[in-house]
Chains A and B, each alone.
Chain A
């Protein structure tokens, strides 16, 4: 099934992102992970989220990260590498988190939850996509968080530009 293909691709490239020492390879394998997560969103009938993932993460955040790699590494005298520290403890903590989460998920028997039993799996219903209902909800139910998000983006943009510029020495 397509979902398992995307899932295996996402896990493999995420694991490669952690294991590789080359920063640029890590960035590009994160790109593959984000793209497969966008594919999984499409399979979950979340088309608008998938397009947003493509535009914001793959188009924006990843380009920012690649800029960050390029600008924060001395390419000439040293190759672009990221060393690992705390390998044993990090693997131990991450593995324990994974085991705990998997145990909880498998024990919780989520499919038997009452509200999941009664819910309709037919997400789209009679409409073609979720874009219209998301747009209506953004302008009615969650209009205050929506405006706050626009304000947050403006503040973050100005703050990032202010932090990153060279200040003249006084």
Chain B
């Protein structure tokens, strides 16, 4: 079974643009974070797809491992910040937070 490389790249492009759409058009901070996770996954898919043609070195898979680690750390810190903002402003709505004062 041989999956063409172009199809994986196209799937990754679709997931990336859906993630960009979520980041641009959503107002809740957690959904924006979910869009960012989707973008990370699209990047990882490309790395793993190219790593399949690189059998001995596995550099793409190693890089995607580090991407997963950084994404996990980012998610933890970002959600802590979201909770802090929610406690402070009583809302996690980004466009309301942007207009509120002190």
Contacts and interface: CB of A to CB of B under 8 A. Distances in A.
A49 B64 contact: yes
Interface in A66-109: 67-69, 71-74, 81-87, 89-91, 93-95, 97-98, 101-102, 105-106
Interface residues of A, number: 90
Interface in A1-56: 1-4, 7, 10-11, 14-15, 17-18, 23, 26-27, 30, 33-34, 37, 40-41, 43-46, 48-49, 52-53, 56
A170 interface: no
B27 A97 contact: no
Contacts of B38: 14, 17, 30, 33
Interface residues of B, number: 73
B64 to A, nearest CB: 6
The 10 closest A-B pairs by CB, nearest first: A90-B25, A156-B73, A90-B24, A82-B28, A94-B21, A101-B13, A72-B92, A98-B17, A160-B80, A164-B80
